[in-house]
Amino acid sequence: MKYLDLAHEIVDTLENIFDERLSASLDFAKLSDRKATVVLTSTLKSAGTDPSEYNINSSSTCRQRMKQRQRVAESLKKEFNPNKPLTVHWDGKLIEDITGHKTVDRLPILVSGQGVNQLLAVPKLSNGTGKASASAVYVTIVSWNLSDKIKCFCFDTTAVNTVLRAGACILLEQKMEKDWPVVTI
């Protein structure tokens, strides 16, 4: 994709140099968008390319990184099609928000089965209730098209998951229209 700058010259966008590997490398190095932009600018200069020929700034870097992450996530979701019974696991965690100024409820959700281990999502919860947890797990299972493959739940035995009428386990069984026997270990 190209665009016309103020001088009416055609300028390449970052889309032409951003790919899955570059985005993953910047994420792996835990570089902020501003720091990644500095690295990209220096790399272009080192490669003998004029960085001003590219629409390169922290906003463009942020947009391209988000696009690449979205593409990878969509690809994983599209290609993931196990033909085995699965166990869905979830475990609420209080962790520092990306801003580093407050803690938030996060709920890692993954599935496992014979030869299968896949992280599905780590949604932020509005609160740490059984209802919020059950809803997040259900939405994730449905969005990955795994409802018919889930045969078992795995979770810690805290009140949020096990309360008789409002625990995530009971609410999730109701949402999925399942009535499984309870097994405690």
Q: Does the pLDDT of residue 2 top 60, yes or no?
A: no
Give the type of residue at 137. Answer: V
Strand 150-154 with 86-90, pairing: parallel
Give residue 110's domain range: 86-176
Q: Are residues 45 and 91 in the same domain?
A: no
Asked which of 45, 79, 113 is the last residue of a domain, the reply is 79
Is residue 183 in some structural domain? no
Judge if 121 and 170 occupy the same domain.
yes
Cβ contact 69:77 at 8 Å: no
- Same-domain status, 103 and 66: no
- Greatest distance between any 2 Cα atoms in the chain: 70
Is residue 184 assigned to a domain?
no
Q: In what order do the strands lie in the sheet containing 2-4?
A: 2-4, 10-13, 54-55
pLDDT at 14: 57
Q: Of 59, 79, 99, which residue constitutes the final position of a domain? A: 79
Residues 6+ apart with CB under 8 A from 136: 90, 107, 109, 121, 123, 125
Look at residue 135 and tell me if it is in a domain: yes
pLDDT for the residue numbered 13? 56
**What pLDDT score does 1 carry?**
44
**How many domains, the chain?**
2
pLDDT of residue 100: 73
Reply yes or no on whether the pLDDT at 20 is more than 90: no
Q: What is the pTM of this model?
A: 0.75
- Domain final position from 79, 111, 144: 79
Domain membership flag for residue 114: yes
